[in-house]
Structure 1
Amino acid sequence: MYTGSCHCGAVRMTLPSRPEVATACNCSLCRRIGGPWVYFEFGTVRIEGHPEATAAYIWGDRTLRTIHCRTCGCVTHWEPLQATAGAKHGVNLGNFDPELIASVRVRRFDGAHSWTFIDA
């Protein structure tokens, strides 16, 4: 089991499997939030304390909401506003054990300009 939480523990997440790859994005939001992000099929990540302990931020094309803890402010995940078949769920890996973070390959994504991966 791979479990993590926000700083105060009000929001807890359990991943369905060990992530193989994470994404570090430089878009206007992600560069402020941090990360890196790992992605799973929507509904497969167990999130406890949500929605009572969380607040959402919706921006841009208004297709997803970025979720943070109401108490400590840590961004925990994002989720689609309209969950459709195959929809993804982004989880902030920064809320997990440092050993897990260190074991995952992180790819750099240029979300600010080219919308492509900028690593080898």
Structure 2
Amino acid sequence: MTAASLRLEGRCLCGDAGWTLTGDPGSVTACNCSMCVRYGALWAYDYEGERIALDGSTRTYARRGKADPALEIHFCPTCGCLLSWRGLRIEADGRRRMAVNIRLAPAEAVADLPIDHFDGADSFEDLPPDGRCVRDMWF
């Protein structure tokens, strides 16, 4: 299977909502910001209407107390699983950034994806790689 023909799918616990990411997801991100730490998500990125598609109904949450939140979180309204986030600002190139929670994909489909660590709590910078992949953080 080529990277272009790769297709990952994730579903919520009840199966009512999900996502598809077409093509090579590359490495996925573990972030230590206050949101990601609470959700325990591992993120694979692309853009709305391009390689990422959501299906089923979702509810959204944008952080309270922020005058200009940067993103909204998409959840299944039935079982509460975190599916994705979607940027609330259009980028200079006219695209909107999105990420899907790869923890909703079958473990065998994502176990070998490398993990990038991002310091969203303090420096807002990538951290040095440590060689771990999804299987190392699955449990």
- What TM-score do you get using the length of structure 1 for normalisation? 0.88
Greater Cα radius of gyration, structure 1 or 2? 2
**Corresponding position of 2:20:** 14
Match of 1:70 among 72, 77, 80: 77
CA distance in 1, matches of 2:73, 2:34: 13
CA contact (8 A) 2:43 2:99 kept: yes
CA distance in 2, matches of 1:102, 1:32: 22
CA distance in 2, matches of 1:90, 1:70: 19
Matched, 1:23 2:29: yes
**Corresponding position of 2:122:** 113
Count of residue pairs brought into register by the alignment: 117
**Corresponding position of 1:43:** 49
Long gaps (5+) in structure 1: none
**Corresponding position of 2:59:** 55
Q: Which moved more, 1:22-31 or 1:1-10?
A: 1-10
CA contact (8 A) 2:87 2:97 kept: yes
CA positional deviation for 1:46 = 1.8
Letter in 1 for 2:71: L
CA positional deviation for 1:69 = 0.6
Q: Which has the higher contact order (CA 8 A, sep 6+)?
A: 1
Give a deviation string over 1:67-115, Cα, whole Å, max 9, x none.
Answer: 1111111100011224441321111011101022212111111100111
Give a deviation string over 1:27-77, Cα, whole Å, max 9, x none.
Answer: 00000111210101221212111xxx3211102441210111111111000
1:62 is paired with a residue of what secondary structure?
coil
Aligned-residue RMSD, C-alpha: 1.5
Report sequence identity in percent: 34
CA contact (8 A) 1:108 1:117 kept: yes
**Corresponding position of 2:137:** none
**Corresponding position of 1:5:** 11
CA distance in 2, matches of 1:98, 1:89: 21
1:114 is paired with a residue of what secondary structure?
coil
